[in-house]
Structure 1
Amino acid sequence: MATTASSSTTPSRLRREVAVRAVSALLRWLHHHPTPAPEPIYLIIALKRAPIRRFEHRLRLPHSPFPSISLVSDRLPADLPDDIDPLPSAALRSLPAAARRGLVLVDRRIRVPSGKATSKSKGARPVPVDLADPAWAESAREAARCVELRVEGGTCRAVRVGHAAMALEEAVENVVAAVEAAAACVPRKWKNVRALHVKSPESIALPLYSAPGTGGDGDAEDAKRDGDAAAAAEQEQGKAKRRKTSSVGS
């Protein structure tokens, strides 16, 4: 059963300065490797033990982790907001890159076809919207601030928390909020969190937190090492990218 969580009553074990270093390093790397549409940023949550039962939680973030909101409809409202881009129903067959990276709203009057165009692997997130509702635009913006944490098996899950075009402070706020909400949702809460990382699809995972006894001791020195590791990881990402480019060209 899906529930909504926005914060944890348990003190967070994530140090904000570590989140700032990791997110800053990731954003710098993304800015040096631009793409036609802003790359998503994910929070990677590794648990010590897999939950016995599957669960879903909606995590509300301070800022939308999507760079854009698109509305697929053949009968657009006359007062379409400037921050929502119109798309025809034909776009569902082959969504533009920008739409695949953003939040896609679909008029309830349109049947969403199954297939690659709307698959999760393409990054699209079709959300049905009722344009007859006067508050549909605000509901859409609220939907853009919510992400789902799904645990169906295994111990590792990814949650979208931002994108490459976000300001550093906004991205950090989203990461911190997602960590606290996720830690409050998972069984046994922080006791079951083994590690937290932040990454984009093409980057390596930058460390945010390691539970005591799993590679870090959880003290201030460990936080410093994680922060330093984030900066070092940024350099390693650049080296890996150059090696990949060199191997393709050879």
Structure 2
Amino acid sequence: MESAPASRVRREDVARAVAALLRWLQHHPTPAPEPIYLLVTLKRAPARRFEHTLRLPRSPFPSISLVSDRLPADLPDDIDPLPSPALGSLPPAARRGLVLVDRRLRVRPGGKGKAAAKAARVVPVDLADQAWAESAREVARRVELRVEGGTCRAVRVGHAAMAREEAVENVVAAVEAAAACVPRKWRNVRALHVKAPESVALPLYSAVGTGDDDDDGGNGEAEGAKRKGVAVKEQGIVKRRKKSSSVSVGGDQL
């Protein structure tokens, strides 16, 4: 029987990596909180396009914005209003967050909202539904793991303004969910890292014998999994512009 995903990555390693990354982000502030990504590197790319939804304990987005011509009178405090003209060219503060678009605006691919979709995650919302705000918060906790080509993919799991323990919880949940849903599960996971757009990737997990098929049906996998510590000094998390650090996140580049 294959061991549970949590057995492959120690929470202590996640906590150390997240703490170091958050310290680096605090020393490199930006107008909007920078996203934090979990990098999932597979041994083999799926034979077909792979897509799975991961539910996180907390939203990895620092803000939720609503674009509408007719804003609700009782707009929740945790949702920021934006005028509909902002959809074509979102302000920097909204580009790192989740943008809700009133369905009455009829945003279509290739239409007015195309530029906005490239800058932020845009989700249609029906304001006639009394539960639209709670539905929006639930959407904000869900991220997509998509593998369309290659073996490395990034999943948004947090942001620079999160408390350390909140970010740790999200990373741990994303690791478990990602390892459980990829084809061949842990046998196909080569490595896991956490990263901000301009930081180096901090290791959480690296499999032993990644050059081999390592498909042994689960026998001895506990001994075959190597846990790498992430005792990384803060000064070691430096800005890197190497080509190898570019990883596709939907339409974005890390």
Question: If the TM-score is normalised by the length of the shorter chain, which range does it land in?
Answer: 0.7 to 0.9
2:149 partner SS: coil
> What residue is the counterpart of 1:184 in the other structure?
180
Question: Cα RMSD between the aligned structures?
Answer: 2.2
Rate the CA distance shift 1:9–1:109 in 2: closer, same or farther, 3 A: farther
- Selected match of 2:68 from 63, 73, 90: 73
The TM-score with structure 2 as length reference comes to 0.83
Please tell me whether residue 226 in structure 1 is matched to residue 226 in structure 2: no
Instruction: Map 1:121-200 to 2 at 5 A.
Output: 122=119, 124-200=120-196
Shift of 1:227: 1.8
Determine the C-alpha separation between the residues in 1 that align with 2:20 and 2:222: 21
Residues 12-69 of structure 1, C-alpha deviations (whole Å, 9 max, x = no match): 2111111001011000000000000000000000000000011211100000000000
* 1:103 alignment partner, one of 98, 102, 106: 98
Ranges in structure 2 where 5+ consecutive residues have no aligned partner: 212-220, 242-254
Task: Flag the 1:204–1:128 CA change in 2: closer, same or farther, 3 A.
Answer: same
Q: Is the 8 A contact 1:59 1:147 kept in 2?
A: yes
Matches of 1:179 and 1:193, distance apart in 2: 11
Name the residue aligned to 1:50.
45
**Is the counterpart of residue 116 in structure 1 residue 109 in structure 2?**
no
Change in 2 beyond 3 A, CA 1:89/1:184: same
Whole-Å separation in 2 of the counterparts to 1:11 and 1:198:
17
For residue 205 of structure 1, report the CA deviation from its aligned partner.
Answer: 0.3
- Separation of aligned partners in 1, 2:102 and 2:239: 45
2:105 match: secondary structure: coil
Contact 1:9–1:184 under 8 Å retained in 2: no
Encode CA deviations 1:133-183: one digit per residue, 9 max, x unaligned: 000000000000000011111100000000000000000000000010000
- Partner Cα distance (1:47, 1:238) in 2: 25
Gaps of 5+ in 1: 1-7, 242-250
> Offset at 1:218?
7.9
What is the aligned residue count?
A: 225
Cα distance change of structure 1 residues 9 and 64 upon mapping to structure 2, 3 Å threshold:
farther
